Amino acid sequence: MNNLGFPALVTESLAKQIAENLGAAIIEGRLKVNERLPTEEELARQFGVSRPTIREALKRLAAQKLVLSRRGPSGGTFVNKPSIEEVGFTLATYSTLLVSMGEFGLGEIAQARAELERICARLAAANREDGHLAIMNAELQAQRSAAISDVDFCASDVRFHRALVDATGNSFLRFLMYAVIEAVQPAANLLSWRFRERQAIAAFHERIVEGVTRRDGEAATAAMAQLAEYLAAKYEEAHEWRRNKAPEPQA
C-alpha cells in the first residue's frame, strides 16, 4: 500500500488503474474538492510507474472533469467539482450518440419524456418564479410567429422546456433532464419535424404556461400529458415513414 491507501497494481492498463484509484479517492472523499494532488513525480513514486503513465492517468481524470490543472507558482493538478452543465454536456453528448445509433426507440423516448416532464410541470407550477415565466412566454411568442424557421422553432422548443425544468427549483431533476432537453429532444425533433404542426405545439405550450402561471399543477400536468400524447403519435408517424422509405434489401 502507499501513502493514500491505493491497492497494488496489476499489469493491465496501468494508467487506467491509476485513474480509477484516484477517482475512487475523490468520490470517497479521501481527496477533497480543490485539494492539490501530489506531483507527477510523487505519484509515479507512490505507484511505482513512470511519469508518462501518471500523465496519461491524469488526462483520463481531466476528461471526466474530476481534476483540472492550474499553471503558475501555485499551480498543479487539483480536484475539481464539475458543474451540472459540464457533466450534463457529457451526458448529452453520449445520449445523442446512442440515439443516432438506434439504441433508444422514439417510443421509449416519448414514454420516458412524458413521465419526467409531467413531474416537471407539477413542480414548476409550485416553484416557478417570474423570470421563468418571462422566458417561457418569450419563447411562446417566438413560436407563434409565422416567420420563424423550422430550425429556430426547434431551438425555441428546447429553450422552452429548459425554462420549465429550471422552474422546478430541483437541481437533481434539472440534471436528470439534461440529456432529455439538450440531446434527446433535439434528436427527436430532427426525426419528426416534418410531421409536427408548429401551431399545435405552441398551443400545448400556451396551456402549460397558463397552468404554471396560475400555479395550477393539475392543469399544467394535464397540458403536458396532452403534448406528450401528441408527440408520441408524431414519432410513430415518423417511424412509419422512415420504415417505408428504407430501401428494400437486395437479394
User: Does residue 34 sit in the same domain as residue 148?
Assistant: no
Asked if 127 and 169 touch (Cβ cutoff 8 Å), the reply is: yes
Give this prediction's pTM. Answer: 0.68
- Tell me, yes or no, whether 212 and 183 share the same domain: yes
Q: What does each of the 251 residues of the chain score in pLDDT, given as a tens digit?
A: 456 666 666 545 899 999 999 999 998 889 999 999 999 999 999 999 999 999 999 999 998 889 999 888 888 999 998 877 777 777 777 777 777 777 877 677 778 888 999 999 999 999 999 999 999 999 999 999 989 998 899 889 989 999 999 999 998 898 888 877 876 666 666 666 666 788 899 999 999 999 999 999 999 999 999 998 888 887 777 667 667 775 555 54
Tell whether 230 is covered by a domain.
Answer: yes
Residue range 110-126, pLDDT digits in tens: 788 889 999 999 999 99
Shared domain for 114 and 127, answered yes or no, is: yes
Strand, helix or coil for residue 69: strand
Q: Give the residue from 201, 232, 4 showing the smallest Cα distance to 109.
A: 232
Domain with 58 in it: what CATH number?
1.10.10.10
> Per-residue pLDDT tens for 215-230?
999 999 999 999 988 8
User: Count of domains in the chain?
Assistant: 2
Question: Do 225 and 140 have their domain in common?
Answer: yes
In a domain, 138, yes or no: yes
DSSP run (H or E) holding 139: helix 130-144
Domain boundaries, position 36? 14-79
Strand partners, 133: none
Q: Of 185, 222, 227, give the one whose Cα is nearest residue 205.
A: 227
Residue-level pLDDT at 1 = 47
